[in-house]
């Protein structure tokens, strides 16, 4: 499921609204063990563009 959610986010990353909606849905599909890997991937791929959105759904790591 993790790879599916990543694929969807990449496809909708052009639109802030779609990105946030799919991120929220994607988090519901993932098991707790996948969420940390998913968070790291999201910040790596989209952190520059969508950091405020990511911070809303993930606790920032410093």
Q: How far apart are CA 60 and CA 8, in angstroms?
A: 22
pTM of the shown model: 0.87
Listed in sequence order, the residues at least 6 apart from 41 whose beta carbon sits closer than 8 Å to its beta carbon are 6
Flag whether pLDDT at 62 surpasses 60.
no
**Interval 1-22 mean pLDDT:** 96
Task: Report domain extents, the chain.
Answer: 2-57
Helix, strand, coil shares of the chain, percent, nearest 5, are: 80, 0, 20
Q: What is the pLDDT of residues 28-46, one digit of tens each?
A: 999 988 999 999 999 999 9
Q: State the number of CA atoms in the 13 A half-sphere of 54 facing the CB.
A: 20
Flag whether pLDDT at 53 surpasses 80.
yes
């Amino acid at each position: 499921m993790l790879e599916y959610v990543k694929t969807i986010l990449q496809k909708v990353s052009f639109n802030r609204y779609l990105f946030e909606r799919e991120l929220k849905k994607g988090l519901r599909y993932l098991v707790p063990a996948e969420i940390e890997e998913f968070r790291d991937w999201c910040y790596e791929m989209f952190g520059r563009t969508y950091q405020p959105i990511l911070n809303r759904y993930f606790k920032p790591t410093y």
